[in-house]
A and B are shown apart, each in its own frame.
Chain A
Amino acid sequence: TQLLEQSPQFLSIQEGENLTVYCNSSSVFSSLQWYRQEPGEGPVLLVTVVTGGEVKKLKRLTFQFGDARKDSSLHITAAQPGDTGLYLCASRPYAGGTSYGKLTFGQGTILTVHP
């Protein structure tokens, strides 16, 4: 089973600051997804990265996939209080040419942005 290590676990910053969240594994990812979860709701998909070295941008959020496809990062520029939430990375197993539906999640990063 692929394990995802996410860091940091907690992040408390002031509005306007930048931050980066990391997701690492000892195994190669087939694809890597980033989710955001708010209290009382389920995770909501932000982005999927598939190709090594890929960079995707979603407004002030920048997602990178490592060249070796073993790590990924989420960078938020000029954080706002509305960015507060739980950020999760997740991967999907891929073995022997077979794709699987189940997702493996990291523990998550709880982000608090203070006004």
Chain B
Amino acid sequence: EAGVTQFPSHSVIEKGQTVTLRCDPISGHDNLYWYRRVMGKEIKFLLHFVKESKQDESGMPNNRFLAERTGGTYSTLKVQPAELEDSGVYFCASSLAYKGTARNEQYFGPGTRLTVT
């Protein structure tokens, strides 16, 4: 069974440009999460989809970030326009459920390393 995949693995863009990150969750996982780790800091939550709906977007830093999950399958995270402080590793995770303690294990992708110069 394929795990969570993310594309691209690396992206280097200039300040002011636009970048779109893609995440393909494990097949059948309704829950999809985006996290980010900036250098020297802990991994931080960005948002949580249940199918195509945004369940929790409390971690989105500002309106330059737009996440979508049309059809409830893969998700994209667009940063427009990118700023220097957006550099970091963006992780996607998916899970079967999110409540309780069963079936809510989150499986992480390998991440996309974004560098804004």
Closest to A99 in B: B99
Q: Is the CB of B42 within 8 A of A102?
A: no
Chain A residues numbered 28-47 whose CB sits less than 8 Å from any CB in chain B: 31, 40-45
Whether B110 and A41, one on each chain, are in contact in the complex, defined by CB atoms closer than 8 angstroms, is: yes
Report whether A106 and B42 are in contact in the complex, using a CB–CB cutoff of 8 Å: yes
**Docked pose: A108 CA to B89 CA in angstroms:** 15
Shortest CB distance A5–B (Å) = 10
8 A Cβ contacts from A72-115 to B: 88, 90, 92, 99-108
Given contacts A40-B110, A41-B110, contact A105 B95 (CB under 8 A): no
| A interface with B by C-beta (< 8 Å) | 4, 31, 40-45, 48, 50, 88, 90, 92, 99-108
Given the known inter-chain contacts A42-B108, A102-B48, please indicate yes or no for A88 contacting B43, CB distance below 8 A. yes
Chain B: interface secondary structure?
A: loop
Tell yes or no: B100 within 8 A of A by CB. Answer: yes
Given known contacts A42-B109, A45-B105, A101 and B100 CB-to-CB distance under 8 angstroms: no
B109 near A99: Cβ-Cβ < 8 Å: no
With contact pairs A42-B108, A88-B43, A107-B41 given, residues A100 and B98 touching in the complex (Cβ less than 8 Å): yes
